[in-house]
Amino acid sequence: MTHDTLTITDNRTNQTYTLPIENGTVRALEFRQIKAYPEDFGLMTYDPAFMNTASCQSSITVIEGERGILQYRGYPIEVLAEHCTFLEIAYLLLFGDLPNETELKNWVSEITHHTMLHETTKKFMEGFRYDAHPMAMLVSTVAALSTVYPEAGNIHDPSNRLLQIKRLTGKMPSIAAMSYRHNLGFPYVYPDNDLSYSENFMNMLWKMVEPKYVANPVLAHALDILFILHADHEQNCSANVMRSVGSAHADPYLTTAAAAAALSGPLHGGANEEVLKMLDEIGSRENVPGYVKKVKEGHGKLMGFGHRIYKNHDPRAKIMKWTADQVFEVTGRNPKLDIALELERIALEDEYFIKRKLYPNVDFYSGIIYQAMGFKPEMFTVLFAIPRTVGWLAQWQEMFLQPEQKIARPRQIYTGHKARPFLALERRAPGGTRKD
């Protein structure tokens, strides 16, 4: 017997079982052999919210939460943010290695040529109410692309999958910009293929009557860094949705829309919008201690704080602060920063937050930067969704290459009624009781 095993004694039967340990993991299915009686279904593991369950094998992104490390394909996030463009990172996440010069040139050209949206998509967006939430517009419009590209359903053909990946990567900023301008009542701006990914996004957001939009290089670079920081984060809630919906073989547009819907939640990507609402509610530095006290008493959460995996600092937060400084040089300092810094200072010294290992996460500072750039809080999660689409697609693609991947289908512990007699309608009383 090797040491890479786990020996379990079932005290109900006194039977001993030896299970293999691989990669620090025991396969949950191994527990099925542990039965209390012959007809027993076998032991299951119970893990609501996947607190301690690996759902796949992946070679894309790794987070070492206790050490505050984040790597894409083995490269530390700090190095990538300093030296790469977002499209280089997209290539890295999707194909496994950084592109060389020729590969990058071709990749950028291909993505650039997929930024246009079908005119019916524009009409579709025009149907939204003037004040529709941009994230809801994005989710619905991404799903609607499924009607434009019905061949996307052929998910077993690798070249077809790659075409949809390029389309989604290219079109996401176009959809995001349309949702932004829709709220403002401005005409939609078509992509400009001469510009970089971030510059073109800025062009589609902010071009007015000038013949050629010229992006501020500092803001374009900041946006690119923010895109890099948000590109992937291993098996988070939306990536899990991407894999789960993808495992049913839905097409990539519908699958991405599902992942984006998960991202919109305030506990996930929607937290960046909530952070700004929270800072508005706090109003000034003096009100911070009172707000923190309320949170500790159980009234709400500090939005932008805490993480399932990071139990030390979030490595992205440091890069975020550096980026904020660059942006504020151009836009002027966002006054919300003072409240945020005070909140961080007080929370990091407080026993409640120390004990629970709650640190600022990526969403804590991103909103302050986005606001300084001129975005309304409703747009923040949309800005998150643009680069994360690449991460979702990398996770989705990887899923197809894993031989043991099947449709995701968890078990449950049934806590409902045992079989009970049916009551005809006329004999039913309130609360499931019978009249007679």
Residues 118, 192, 268, 313: which is the catalytic one? 268
Q: Which amino acid is at 45?
A: T
Q: Quote the least distance from Cβ 34 to ligand CMC, whole Å.
A: 29
Under a CB-based contact definition with an 8 Å cutoff, are residues 320 and 377 in contact?
Answer: no
Sheet holding 75-76, edge to edge: 61-64, 69-72, 75-76
Non-local (6+) Cβ contacts of 267 within 8 A are: 237
* CB-based burial label for 404 (10 Å; 0-12, 13-18, 19+): exposed
Q: Which amino acid is at 396?
A: W
Cβ nearer to ligand CMC, comparing 6 with 267: 267
Number of residues that bind ligand CMC (CB under 6 A): 19
Q: Let me know if 363 is a catalytic residue.
A: yes
Distance of CA 1 to the CA centre of its chain: 42
Q: Let me know if 338 is a catalytic residue.
A: no
DSSP symbol at 152? G
Under a CB-based contact definition with an 8 Å cutoff, are residues 220 and 196 in contact?
Answer: yes
**Span near ligand CMC by CB under 6 A; candidates 29-37, 105-113, 169-177, 304-312:** 304-312
Cβ nearer to ligand CMC, comparing 252 with 304: 304
Nearest 5°: CA angle at 115, between 111 and 118? 135
By rule CB under 6 A, what string of x and - marks binding of each residue 95-134 to ligand CMC?
Answer: ----------------------------------------
Rounded distance between C-alpha atoms, residue 162 and residue 114, angstroms: 12
Q: Which of 90, 279, 340, 358 contacts ligand CMC by CB under 6 A?
A: 358
- Tell whether residue 224 is a contact of ligand CMC (CB under 6 A): no
- Tell whether residue 204 is a contact of ligand CMC (CB under 6 A): no
Q: Let me know if 307 is a catalytic residue.
A: yes
- Tell whether residue 305 is a contact of ligand CMC (CB under 6 A): yes
Under a CB-based contact definition with an 8 Å cutoff, are residues 340 and 348 in contact?
Answer: no
Torsion angle in degrees (nearest 10) through CA of 326, 327, 330, 332: -110
Q: Which of 139, 172, 295, 340 contacts ligand CMC by CB under 6 A?
A: 295
Q: Quote the least distance from Cβ 383 to ligand CMC, whole Å.
A: 12
Q: Which of 114, 307, 316, 336 contacts ligand CMC by CB under 6 A?
A: 307
By rule CB under 6 A, what string of x and - marks binding of each residue 257-286 to ligand CMC?
Answer: ----------xxx-x---------------
- Mind telling me the catalytic residues? 268, 307, 363
State the residues that interact with ligand CMC by CB under 6 A: 236, 267-269, 271, 295, 301-308, 356, 358, 361-363
